[in-house]
Amino acid sequence: MNLWKSYGASVRGPGHVATCEPNQDAWTSFHRVWGDGIVVSDGVGSKPFANVGSDAACFAVKHAA
């Protein structure tokens, strides 16, 4: 029986709010029969599509586990 729950949040910085850019950080959690995990990826704010890369990194780790 899995009793572990995870919650998280990330907010855009003031620079991204001012320029209407998306939040570029990502996180996810996963639950497996052998254990639980959390993945965090910090977007590279100076690069275009950094939000896509951080989401993809979290997706890849979650599904590789």
The structure tokens listed for 19 are 């320029």
- What is the number of helices (H) and of strands (E) in the chain? 2, 2
35-50 pLDDT, tens digit per residue, is: 899 999 998 877 889 9
Beta bridge partners of residue 62, listed in sequence order: none
- Residue 2: band (very low, low, confident or very high) from pLDDT cuts 50, 70, 90: low
**Mean pLDDT across the chain:** 89
pLDDT higher than 80, residue 28? yes
Q: Token pair 């855009």 is at which residue? A: 12
pLDDT higher than 90, residue 3? no
Does residue 31 sit within a domain? yes
The structure tokens listed for 42 are 């910090």
Planar angle of CA 42, 8, 56, nearest 5 degrees: 40
Residue 40 · residue 30 · CB < 8 Å: no
Indicate the number of domains in the chain: 1
Does residue 57 sit within a domain? yes
Range of the domain at 44: 22-64
